[in-house]
Amino acid sequence: MLEKLRESLKTSPVVRFGEYDYFIHPVTDGIPFMEPDLLEEVIVHICTMCDFDCDLIVGAEAMAIPLIASLSLKTGVPYNIIRKRKYGLPGEVSVKQVTGYSKLDLYINGVSRGDRVVIVDDVISTGGTLRALITALRDIGAKIEDIIVVVEKTDEKAALEKELKVRIKTLVKIEVRDGKVIVLS
């Protein structure tokens, strides 16, 4: 199960951004390219973890896009992209995202009070993206039905779950050690 994902993670290059070890992989970066069979394996597995009884599948630009678009096609549930660009539409919500290597604003449009959402993300590392999305979606009044992340990079997940009183499902857990990706589960 998830053999393509696990094997491809083991050969992922690692680069440093200051003190942050960043692994490069097709699911998390689109580099070097996404093989359709890898994407299919990930999408099929996500569908076994969640019934998608929701109004929207949401994810942050950029690498959640291929995941949520594929899941939308598979499930028939519309998707919504949390964007890095301000559009100035009525009801637009600005979100401050802080990760291990960047700080930026994200913008939510088209999510309303009472919407039942499933959040999908490519990787959880520092928890900055998920913390920002969960908080903003709750402030809007959306109901978070499920949270699914492909790659869990650090032990921040447990602390984030406790802090925000949520459950975060992940497909695989890795660690970056001595410039290499180690697949733990």
Residue 169: Cβ within 10 Å count: 13
- Can you tell me the mean pLDDT for 129-154? 95
Q: Is 16 helix (H, G, I), strand (E, B) or coil?
A: strand
Cα gap 128→122, rounded to integer Å: 13
Asked if residues 111 and 137 have their Cβ atoms less than 8 Å apart, the reply is yes
Cα 107 to Cα 86, 88, 140, 159: the distances in Å are 6, 9, 12, 25
Residue 99 has pLDDT above 70, yes or no: no
Q: Which domains does the chain have, with CATH numbers?
A: 3-183 (3.40.50.2020)
Average pLDDT over residues 90-107: 81
| Residues 20, 15: Cα–Cα separation, whole Å | 8
List of residues 6+ apart from 26 with CB closer than 8 A: 8, 32, 33, 34, 35, 38
Please give the model's pTM, rounded to 2 decimal places: 0.94
pLDDT on residue 18: 82
Q: Coil, helix or strand for 99? A: coil
pLDDT tens column, 43-60? 999 999 999 999 999 999
Summarize pLDDT for 167-179 with one digit per residue, the tens. Answer: 999 999 999 999 9
Which residue type sits at 157? K
- 95 pLDDT more than 90: no
Q: Are strands 116-124 and 56-60 parallel, antiparallel or unpaired?
A: parallel
Write the CA distances from 181 to 1, 2, 153, integer angstroms. Answer: 19, 16, 9
